[in-house]
Amino acid sequence: MRGRGSTPEGTDRERGVSDRQENGGVRTDPGRPVGATPLLVLDGGPAVCRAGLARAAASAPELDARNEVTYQELPCRTLVTPCTSERVPFELSLNPYRGCEFGCAYCYARYTHEFLNLDHWLEFERRVFVKRGAAAALLEDLRKRDLRGHSIAIGTATDPYQPAERRFKVTRDVLEVFAGRRGYRLSITTKSDLVLRDLDLLTRICEHSRVRVNVTLTTLDGALSRRLEPRAPRPDRRLRAVRGLAAAGIAVGVFAMPLLPRITDGLPELDCLFAAAREAGADSVSTQVLFLTESSKKRYLPFLAAEFPELLPYYERLYGRRGTEALADYTRRKADELRPLKDRYGLSRRWDDSDEPVQAPDQLALDFDG
Average pLDDT over every residue of 7-23: 31
Higher per-residue confidence, 40 vs 81: 81
pLDDT at position 62 over 70 = no
pLDDT at position 93 over 80 = yes
- What is the overall mean pLDDT for the chain? 80
Query: What pLDDT does residue 63 have?
Result: 67
Q: Report in angstroms the alpha-carbon separations of 6 from 49, 109, 315.
A: 21, 9, 22
Strands ordered across the beta sheet of 97-98: 62-66, 69-73, 127-130, 97-98
**Residue positions counted in the chain:** 370
Report yes or no on 32 lying in a domain: no
Q: What is the count of structural domains for the chain?
A: 1
Q: Which residues make Cβ contacts (< 8 Å) with residue 161, sequence separation at least 6?
A: 155, 171, 190, 191, 192, 194, 195
DSSP one-letter code for 211: E
pLDDT at position 3 over 50 = no
Report yes or no on 126 lying in a domain: yes
pLDDT digits (tens, 9 = 90+) for 21-35: 222 222 323 333 323
Average pLDDT over every residue of 108-120: 73
Q: Where are the alpha helices (DSSP H) in 233-365?
A: 235-247, 267-280, 294-307, 312-319, 325-344
Count of helices and strands (H, E) across the chain: 13, 11
Hey, which residues does 211 pair with through a beta bridge?
186
8 φ/ψ angles, rounded to the nearest 5 degrees: -60, 150
Report yes or no on 171 lying in a domain: yes
Report yes or no on 283 lying in a domain: yes
Name the band, by pLDDT with cuts 50, 70 and 90, for residue 5.
very low
69 φ/ψ angles, rounded to the nearest 5 degrees: -115, 135
Domain residue limits at 100: 45-349
Query: What pLDDT does residue 57 have?
Result: 58
pLDDT at position 331 over 50 = yes
pLDDT at position 156 over 80 = yes
Segment among 32-41, 74-83, 108-117, 129-138 with least mean pLDDT: 32-41
Segment among 37-46, 63-72, 237-246 with least mean pLDDT: 37-46
pLDDT digits (tens, 9 = 90+) for 221-250: 999 999 999 999 999 999 999 999 999 999
Higher per-residue confidence, 307 vs 121: 307
Residue 301 is part of a domain; what is its CATH number?
3.80.30.30
Query: What pLDDT does residue 61 have?
Result: 60
d(CA 57, CA 75): 9
Give percent above pLDDT 90 in the chain.
59
pLDDT digits (tens, 9 = 90+) for 167-217: 999 999 999 999 999 999 999 999 999 999 999 999 999 999 999 999 999
Segment among 147-151, 236-240, 347-351, 366-370 with least mean pLDDT: 366-370
Q: Ranked by mean pLDDT, which of 11-25, 90-104, 124-138, 210-224 comes out on top?
A: 210-224
Report yes or no on 235 lying in a domain: yes
Q: Are 304 and 251 in contact (CB under 8 A)?
A: no
pLDDT at position 162 over 80 = yes
d(CA 283, CA 235): 18
Report yes or no on 245 lying in a domain: yes
Amino acid 301 reads L
Give percent above pLDDT 70 in the chain.
73
Report yes or no on 216 lying in a domain: yes
Report yes or no on 280 lying in a domain: yes
Strands (E) across the chain are located at: 62-66, 69-73, 80-82, 92-94, 97-98, 127-130, 151-154, 185-190, 210-216, 251-259, 285-289
Expressed in angstroms, the distance from the first to the final Cα of the chain is 37
Cα–Cα nearest to 291, from 314, 264, 272, 319: 319
